[in-house]
Structure 1
Amino acid sequence: MKKFRGKRRYFRNMWSEIYRYDLDLEEDMWFAFKHHHLDFYGYGKDSRKQRREHIKGHLALLDRVLEQLEPFQKPYQAWITLNDTYPEYDAVYIHSNNPYDPFPYQSEHLHLTTDLPNAYRDLIDLTKYNVAFSKMNEQVCYVLKVKEKGLAVMLNKNERT
């Protein structure tokens, strides 16, 4: 495996990207599963420390997105997905009523949980986030949604958050 050179610069640029992220909201705007990946190349696979830094980045990006969505007058959903196997699939999502996809997004494969992997259990405040998981094809994916912001990412019929 090749050594990850320029790590300090990489993470400095990642945090700069988070702080500069701008939705540039317009009056008639909508979102069709708009998403943003921070670990596009999957560096989080290489070390637990890098994985944790990317997760912190996704949490900060979601906070930034939610802050920018405060004046948005339409219902929306915003969440983070964390894929245990492929960190390059981690992303912050925004979804609202649009002409292409059903809204609100519903998934019957998600189940509420408070059991998170030890690697990042301490990063996620369960009093702030609703956490759900799905396991498909031996891949575990976690979905995090801030409890008081936006519409729920619908879960099983009796598990709506």
Structure 2
Amino acid sequence: MENNSTNNSQIKLAVYNFEERLKIFHIGILVRGKEFHFGVKQGVHVCPQKNNGKKFFVLINRLIPRKMAFLRYVDIFINDIQLSTSLSMDQILNIKTNLEKYRFGPNTYNLFNNNCIDFAYNFICCISSNGELLNKNNLPNEIRQPWITEPVRAFNKKYY
């Protein structure tokens, strides 16, 4: 029972294939047996593990449908300790609601400035037991911004 409880409190990345050849993924967060995702029109979405085996659908330029299949779960380690939470599901859902209210609501998705990776990073900072902001350089590659977004982010920081 203890092992199951420990597994349930672990925080993992849920990685879905957007364009594997270009190393572009959609990511969510798995915690307490639920996945939390941030998407284009719905804001933050909570679903069962691996989305019950269903593929996610996204619209590219609001026209072209694309399916994203589940790829893998990725463990997150900080200083050789797996990231976990001591929060209950009710507390986690409250954090999700607050993040939706202030930054990740419906229709706030922006590929370059407010995407699933931004949500995942903010969410794990809020729910992780260590209570510290995490150094992005120590996190798995999947939670780093795709190469395609970096020039736009740099431009926006400099001029806006």
TM-score range, shorter chain: under 0.3
> Which structure shows the bigger proportion of residues in strand conformation?
2
> Which structure shows the bigger proportion of residues in helix conformation?
2
